[in-house]
Structure 1
Amino acid sequence: MADGVQELELQPGGTNGVINGVPTQKFKHYRWWFRVAVYIIFLISGQATATLLGRLYYDKGGNSKWISTFVQSAGFPILIPLLLFFQPTTTSSAASPPPTTTTLLLLYLFFGLILTGDNLMYSYGLQYLPVSTYSLLCATQLGFNAVFSFLFNSQKFTSLIINSLFLLTISATLLAVHSDSDNPSKISKAKYIIGFLCTLGASATYSLYLSFLQLSFQKVIKSENFRVVLELQIYPSFVATCGCVVGLFASGEWDTLKKEGSDYEKGSVSYIMTLTWIAIAWQICSIGILGLIFEVSSLFSNVISTLGLPVVPVLAVVFFGDKMDGVKAISLILAIWGSGSYVYQHYLDDLKLKNDMKTRIVVSANEASHNGRLYVELF
């Protein structure tokens, strides 16, 4: 909301919740919550579906880490049509000129390379860990997010955030010491450790990615509209996809894909459909992330992403027969508790912001007696 004076003309008898044909703030607030709810559903459902299908790919005979990395970004073309509905804004002032093309290209390249490494580490984690353990470890990204937000986005630590960090650390530690009894696929101890460390590294990298994304909005792009957010998803995803193609050829995995598809336990058609739906699910998740970044903030999108992670272990018990023993159940409860603590802190921050806004509003009642108009000055 911009500073200055807003003029609202009050219509006589206006009791239907409309001012000059414009919905009241209360109605707009409900519409905003509806959009946020839809984006949250997209994020959680897309994230859970993609994770479970990724585990299915490995369980049924898939073994290519690069193809698993590839599908996490290769579905970006389905977002391109959305660009047609959101035209570029031209409201930049001389004080904050738009970034140059070279700057944007370097930014897209930088984010694309981060996504490539991040997706590759997630692929290692999903291959070497049970899906329930993998998902609970991903919850640590909330703690990493708090640290990076403090360093790069001026995030303040409160008792609730410290409590969240502590609980998430304990949750991850329990999983680490519980590794010997949590290995239904008989994966070697070395591979389990690699998967564990890669998942932690991927969580940290993703949190760093979102913090840099928010920093780019503030310091480089200096504009936050839905088209800009879309471009920062599509173009880095294109770079990440190109990087995965290079990795496929350089690693030699490209030559084994045909045999992998024919040997897939569910058949070659199921192999292709599994990879296709993984790519689509990740893009549905991306739409949710983008919408929450646009409507709220990148920090909030990470909070919701982390809050949705405990959904996956429950589904993994149902669909994959993962064990949900006492240690893992405690870890799950701590992860939910830590995530809830972080979300509650954001609720308190939002409540404080609303109260601060109310105290800054000064109503000039004298003008209303002259021309039937109400002037509200926002400092």
Structure 2
Amino acid sequence: MYDSIAFSNRLPPNSISISNSLLSRLILSFHMGDTQEVQHPHQTSFTIHMEESQELQLSKIEGNNGVQETNSLEGNSFGGPMNESRRKMYYRWFRIAIYSALVLVCGSAAVLLGRLYYEKGGKSKWMGTLTQLGGFPILLPYYFISAPKNLATNNSIHPNQPSVSMLAFVYVSIGLLVALDCYLYSVGLLYLPVSTYSLVCSSQLAFNAFFSYFLNSLKFTPYIVNSLVLLTISSTLLVFQNESSDDSESSQISKKKYVIGFICTVAASAGYGLWLSLTQLVFKKVIKKETFKVVMDMIVYTSFVATCVTVVGLFASGEWKSLKNEMNEYEMGKVTYVLNLTFTTILWQLFTIGCLGLISEVSSLFSNAISVLGVPIVPMLAVIIFHDKMHGIKAISMVLAIWGIMSYVYQQYIDDTKSENRITSHVSKDSVPLEEVHR
């Protein structure tokens, strides 16, 4: 025994450490197989190191998960569904801005050119009607180029298409309504000063709301009711305009013709409101799609029907016989006569595109509201170009009309804000499970 101890004392230090390590491993293996709770110091250090390594691995995993969550949140902020919906909303409002510009600019310019036609010697009411409708062939090249590629897509989205007879009935009915409406507008523009005519046309918003209530399930809010009341009062005040000013003397319009022009303009505004409501109803209930091709179909086919009716009326009334003398006696010359009718025709077609585009993007009532936003534009230009008088009643009527229009536009803003908030909350709720999956 002492010899063994002496022998171990004579061993090198390295061999002693090696033997100790072997002994530690043997003791560790013995204790791992044993059920007792006694642990070797080396085992304790080993388990401590194992726990530390596991904690490090867990911390790395959690760190990676945190990075993934951060990346996922950043990805959602730049390319997630919420940003996609916002981008679509911006693109939609860009289209609405383009359509609104067409309605405001082209509509106001077309009214002024139409009045210039009558002011400088034009007398044909059917020719004034034809300029509002006959320009649809200008759109035919674009229509035939874009129609084949859009046809298959639209059919695949909506397999249940209306029958040909149903579409023919819709286009013919609306075309007849449009022809009558444009003729009434021509009579009103002939017999009324252009500023008075424009203010009376603002009543079409009230008529559109009335028809939309029955045809398109429009809900009357306080702002819409306020808008309709103001626009009705604004148009009613103009009934007394002829008696309280000298507009009839300056424009050489008799009281009888003033009344006829006023009634025809109010009737035309009612027909216009009905046309917009029917068009929105056809888009949603009959055609069941609102693509740009559908808008073009509505323009081309209804304009074709209305143009045919107008041409028949032009020849049946005998006004076509006086067109040559009318062009020769035009105060601004033959070339200006032709250019006036040509540009008026083009502007009315661009106005129609913008109007129907707003119907497909928002609603017929919004389209009508944008069209009557030209109420302050046309009278101001009429005062400069045609020297119309802006008396007290007409000024009050214009202020009330602007107030009524802005009341409706504010209601539209409230509706869009509520819709955006609902979309945002819906997207945020849908994104919660994705975050839980990352965690």
Does the pair score TM above 0.5?
yes
1:137 aligned residue (200, 203, 214): 200
Asked if residue 365 in structure 1 is aligned to residue 426 in structure 2, the reply is: no
1:27 to partner: Cα distance: 3.4
2:261 alignment counterpart: 195
User: How many angstroms apart in 2 are the aligned matches of 1:299 and 1:82?
Assistant: 28
Q: Deviations over 1:86-124 (max 9, x none)?
A: 522113556xx2111111111110011001000000000
1:49/1:281 contact within 8 Å kept: yes
Secondary structure class of the residue paired with 2:217: coil
User: How many angstroms apart in 2 are the aligned matches of 1:268 and 1:210?
Assistant: 36
1:271 alignment counterpart: 337
Q: Deviations over 1:56-101 (max 9, x none)?
A: 000000000000000101111122233222522113556xx21111
User: How many angstroms apart in 2 are the aligned matches of 1:201 and 1:237?
Assistant: 20
Instruction: Specify whether residues 330 and 16 from structure 1 end up closer, same or farther in structure 2 by C-alpha distance, changes over 3 A only.
Output: same
Asked if residue 169 in structure 1 is aligned to residue 236 in structure 2, the reply is: no
1:138/1:199 contact within 8 Å kept: yes
Query: What's the TM-score, normalizing by structure 1?
Result: 0.89
User: How many angstroms apart in 2 are the aligned matches of 1:366 and 1:165?
Assistant: 47
2:156 alignment counterpart: 91
2:397 aligned residue (331, 339, 347): 331
User: How many angstroms apart in 1 are the aligned matches of 2:175 and 2:334?
Assistant: 30
2:133/2:306 contact within 8 Å kept: yes
2:158/2:289 contact within 8 Å kept: no
Higher strand share: 1
2:412 alignment counterpart: 346
1:108 aligned residue (171, 179, 186): 171
The code of the aligned residue for 1:252 comes to: G
Secondary structure class of the residue paired with 1:85: helix
2:127 alignment counterpart: 67
1:39 aligned residue (80, 99, 107): 99
Q: Deviations over 1:251-272 (max 9, x none)?
A: 0001111111111111111111
1:186 to partner: Cα distance: 2.1
Q: Deviations over 1:159-193 (max 9, x none)?
A: 21221121112111211012122312121111110
1:226 to partner: Cα distance: 1.1
2:66 alignment counterpart: none
Q: Deviations over 1:260-317 (max 9, x none)?
A: 1111111111111100000011011112113222322222111101122221001101
Instruction: Specify whether residues 157 and 367 from structure 1 end up closer, same or farther in structure 2 by C-alpha distance, changes over 3 A only.
Output: closer
2:216/2:280 contact within 8 Å kept: yes
1:357 to partner: Cα distance: 3.4
The residue correspondences of 1:1-379 to structure 2 (distance < 5 A) are: 14=75, 17-18=78-79, 24-83=84-143, 84-86=145-147, 87-88=150-151, 89-92=154-157, 97-180=160-243, 181=245, 182-183=247-248, 184-361=250-427, 362-363=429-430, 365-368=432-435, 370=437
Question: If you compute each CA radius of gyration, which structure gives the higher value, 1 or 2?
Answer: 2
1:360 to partner: Cα distance: 4.1
User: How many angstroms apart in 2 are the aligned matches of 1:143 and 1:228?
Assistant: 27
The code of the aligned residue for 1:154 comes to: S
Instruction: Specify whether residues 79 and 166 from structure 1 end up closer, same or farther in structure 2 by C-alpha distance, changes over 3 A only.
Output: same
1:92/1:98 contact within 8 Å kept: no
The code of the aligned residue for 2:185 comes to: Y
The code of the aligned residue for 2:108 comes to: A
The code of the aligned residue for 2:78 comes to: G
The code of the aligned residue for 2:329 comes to: D
Instruction: Specify whether residues 12 and 303 from structure 1 end up closer, same or farther in structure 2 by C-alpha distance, changes over 3 A only.
Output: closer
User: How many angstroms apart in 2 are the aligned matches of 1:131 and 1:12?
Assistant: 58
The code of the aligned residue for 2:384 comes to: V
2:198/2:379 contact within 8 Å kept: yes
User: How many angstroms apart in 2 are the aligned matches of 1:360 and 1:16?
Assistant: 16
Higher helix share: 2
User: How many angstroms apart in 2 are the aligned matches of 1:365 and 1:151?
Assistant: 42
Stretches of structure 2 lacking an aligned partner (at least 5 in a row): 1-70
Aligned positions, number: 360
User: How many angstroms apart in 2 are the aligned matches of 1:135 and 1:111?
Assistant: 24
User: How many angstroms apart in 1 are the aligned matches of 2:433 and 2:218?
Assistant: 41
Secondary structure class of the residue paired with 1:187: coil
Q: Deviations over 1:305-348 (max 9, x none)?
A: 11222210011011110011221111100000011111111112
2:30 alignment counterpart: none
1:364 to partner: Cα distance: 5.1
User: How many angstroms apart in 2 are the aligned matches of 1:67 and 1:144?
Assistant: 27
The code of the aligned residue for 1:307 comes to: L
Secondary structure class of the residue paired with 1:49: helix
Secondary structure class of the residue paired with 1:72: helix
Aligned-pair identity (%): 51
Decide which moves more: 148-157 or 61-70: 148-157
